[in-house]
Chain A
């Protein structure tokens, strides 16, 4: 029996980084304020003191330079772990992410191994200024060559990040802002690895399945628990990674329940929830007993503070969607 500690997601991220830097001296951490300050959220706390200024580097404020330099670091045989301070800022590096990081292996026909991890906090609910809360999963998933990982629990934050750093392909690792300190749980001590592409059943149930990732899993679980009090059996499937996607896991859950709700925080049009719906239709259309319902943000930019609770899906909207898919006889 391995020991475990109660950690926040943020502490779990930090533990994974400490573990991977200790394990593999090729791992370098770079980004804005990641060294002396330990990151603006303290995700990289203690790394600079432990591993030194060569391997933990405060860069100039230059997203394209940070992400672009990870390509060169990977060409030199290193394993860069870059932080983009907020996912919305990755727009300023999107040409490097999409055109360069994602294609390094492909363009060089396997000569260069893009063992690059890009960590970024995202998602709303903490009253940030504009462009600090945007969810870009749909856009990122549409870039061939990237893996996209979005943990929902503290244990997964550690286990999936460690796996991502070791993964030979570029991984965009999405960390929910609200979950940094808001989500906590038992996290195995020492080495802990969670494979990419294996969804997790966060709640069991057989009437409806709510499919979600990252912080929305937490809300889906609360909705499931509330509905359980009304006698409804609502499963929650935490995708954990969007690319690769657990096709079999999605199909098994929908086959069992016959009804599905897909939740995401992003703009609805072109969002990743649509990809999940398409997957369900391809994999298990004949198991469906009702149309699938999406719960998402709106086709409007992520708003500023006073409006964000209206924008972001909450338990009530998720529960309402569950009731809606149950209305169909």
Chain B
């Protein structure tokens, strides 16, 4: 069994690559996500950030490389198994369950934390006390999560009726419901106005305070510099720079990638 010794390293990838019929979308990428820290992934469009996310969370199969969670090797081949192991994500283009209320969306996230016996078919059919208790407990947990993200008053609204910013926060709430060890956010601030971005930053900092580890892709370099403890910069599938936000800002390679020349 391959074990990684560093205790605070929650997630790491080693030499991960993804080849899309000749195009190397992710090229030999090794990153580390440390416990209770915010790790950022930035880079120009098409750099491979979302692909890397998809590789880590099981949406895409890697062409090569290894993945480690809590020191143990894992194969991110089934999306729901990745969630079971402790990584929950949000999507760049918001994927909510439109015909469900806000609360129900979050309740879906509890699926992985409830089991078949207390809440399975037979118990739900006969509505035995254990089932009712469990269901109520889950509701309470979800309500607390909604409170945390600031959506409590809107809990019975249809998710499709929420504002854009609220929908993003709902998606985060749903991911939090999975009680993940790592919360992976794919461009959570995309399309937000400055006020909403400030609220988002506040939320993420609060989550950090509650011992959630965060991996985040974003374009807003200022937002990332304020938030992240460690940033990886990707360009054309490779990691071209990594370090603290202040170091990244002055890295010539990074400046070149953003200003001079396009990727892909």
A, B bound: no
Using a CB–CB cutoff of 8 Å, the interface residues on chain A facing chain B are none
Using a CB–CB cutoff of 8 Å, the interface residues on chain B facing chain A are none
